[in-house]
A and B are shown apart, each in its own frame.
Chain A
Amino acid sequence: ASDVSVLWLPLPRSLLTCRTAEPLEYHRSFLKENCRPDGRELTEFRTTTLNIGSISTADGSALVKLGNTTIICGIKAELANPTVEAPGKGYIVPNVDLPPLCSSRFRPGPPGEEAQAASQFIADVIESSEVIKTEDLSIDRGKLCWVLYCDLMCLDYDGNILDACVIALLAALKNTRLPEVTINKETSAPEVNLEKRWELQIHKHLVSASFCIFDDSILISDPTAEEETLSTAHLTVVTDEDDRLCSVHKPGGTSLSGERLQECISRATTRQREIQKLIAKVAHSVKKAQ
């Protein structure tokens, strides 16, 4: 301990803050200047890139990169019996997987709390927004329907997986092409025609925008993994093209005032327009290439 006091030099504090030794002070020194360590503005989102139809064995797929965060979504359709409560509807089963590959904080084994909470969030968002009408997935009322298994896997975890998952899911659903099924009248067995496929109709283009609150007062959008661990609260707002809110997800943390919430909602609606244009552009270019 005495050695350290001899070596201490009276430099200004800002030059001494080290990213690994004092991460909170490091981030605070940037936030004071209204910017962030990677050079972004407080309300700026990272560059989003999208790749549709990369998995040929899946019925629909999409790969999203939000900065460094990478999520891949694959959709497989299977035939199943509809549930007793809803005989005229099919169903969608989303699953978010955060494997040890994407970050050192996840250990191999059963899904942790973050993955399960994310899966529940995606399931609630699909149900709340009615992105696809589950009646479209019904083939024979009470006997046969489509079930869509949506698997979202994170390949690189750098914060804000919920936003990336929602974009990947929407793009993959747009890309999904289901084979036509006819019921043979004599044998009453289903006949699947893999050559003739039809596209799912997307009713609502939902996009999510995540924010986090720093030190109870500063609001930043699209947090990286480091910013997420240092923040005091998280908020995710999901909007659709009619400016209706499908989800306002704030799982605890420090409180949020009404004006801040309003700011987040306006930023989320602008983000919705940007992402809707991006998905339309990529889907159009995929169609032209086919």
Chain B
Amino acid sequence: QRSSNELYLRCQEFGCEQSLLSRPDGSASFVQGDTSVMAGVYGPAEVKVSKEIYDRATLEVLVQPKVGLPSVRERSQEQCVRETCEASLLLTLHPRSSLTLILQVLHDDGSLLSCCLNAACMALMDAGLPMSCLFCGVTCAISTDGQIITDPTAAQEKESRALMTFAIDSAKHSVLMSSTKGSFSVHELQQCIAVSQKASEKIFQFYRDSVKRRYSKSL
């Protein structure tokens, strides 16, 4: 059981692997407890004339669910991930090019959107795309008795009164993206943002450790 004072993340159960696929320019797999997402990045590559932007790269995000075809829910997740990536990538360095980010859901046990964001960030890093800052995803759930749980499992999400996912950037620790479900008060929102900002520090430290581990092998 988790108490409300303890900031518990499934940190011990975080796992990340980069460059695991041979075809994409960058790839990463991110595991949070039982939730696991694989990301692949292609780019900068040629872009269709109908989609090209004269001064920036065109970023396209595709979220593939584990079973079935992408539906309306995946489209809204794609919009969230795409606009978060566009805010942190330096798109003006690759005008008239396309960047494609594909996220494949391998298993969903809660906190799916934040796992997708984390996998996306690691894949973009692996592809060597220029970014102004890193970002991470944190999910908070407010249970029926008012407790704030970070990184909830699917069972905890189902019993919660409200569910919020934030994308936090590494430079200013501010909120880049916010997606909420359920009703809550303003005070609860501010508490969850503060909790997410604290949790993001642990995730950024995890990014640093996994990249360090990866490059220490080749040195």
Contact = CB atoms under 8 A, between A and B. Distances in A.
Interface in A218-259: 232-233, 235, 240, 243-258
Interface residues of B, number: 35
A244 B86 CA distance: 31
Contact of B184 (A124, A232, A245, A251): A245
Interface in A120-164: 120-121, 123-124, 127-130
Contacts of B186: 243, 245, 262, 265
Interface in B161-219: 162, 164, 167, 169, 172, 174-186, 189-190, 193
Contact of A249 (B179, B183, B185): B179
Contacts, number: 98
Contacts of A249: 178-180
B169 A252 contact: no
Interface string B70-86: 00110110111111111
Contact of B180 (A117, A128, A243): A128
B167 A119 contact: no
Contacts of A127: 181
B87 interface: yes
B75 A248 contact: no
Contacts of A235: 178
A80 B80 CA distance: 33
Given A117-B76, A121-B76, A253 B83 contact: yes
Contacts of A247: 180-181
A155 to B, nearest CB: 22
Contacts of A251: 76, 79-80, 83-84, 177, 179
A243 B186 CA distance: 8
A252 B180 contact: no
B79 A117 contact: yes
B169 A120 contact: no
Contact of B183 (A117, A119, A123, A245): A245
Given A244-B184, A245-B183, A250 B175 contact: yes
B57 to A, nearest CB: 16
A76 B167 CA distance: 38
A77 to B, nearest CB: 21
7 contacts: A124-B181, A233-B83, A243-B185, A248-B178, A248-B189, A252-B85, A252-B176
Interface of A: 113, 116-117, 119-121, 123-124, 127-130, 232-233, 235, 240, 243-258, 261-262, 265
Shortest 7 CB-CB contacts between residues of A and residues of B: A252-B83, A255-B174, A252-B84, A116-B75, A120-B76, A250-B178, A117-B76
Given A117-B75, A245-B185, 4 more contacts: A124-B181, A232-B87, A243-B186, A248-B180
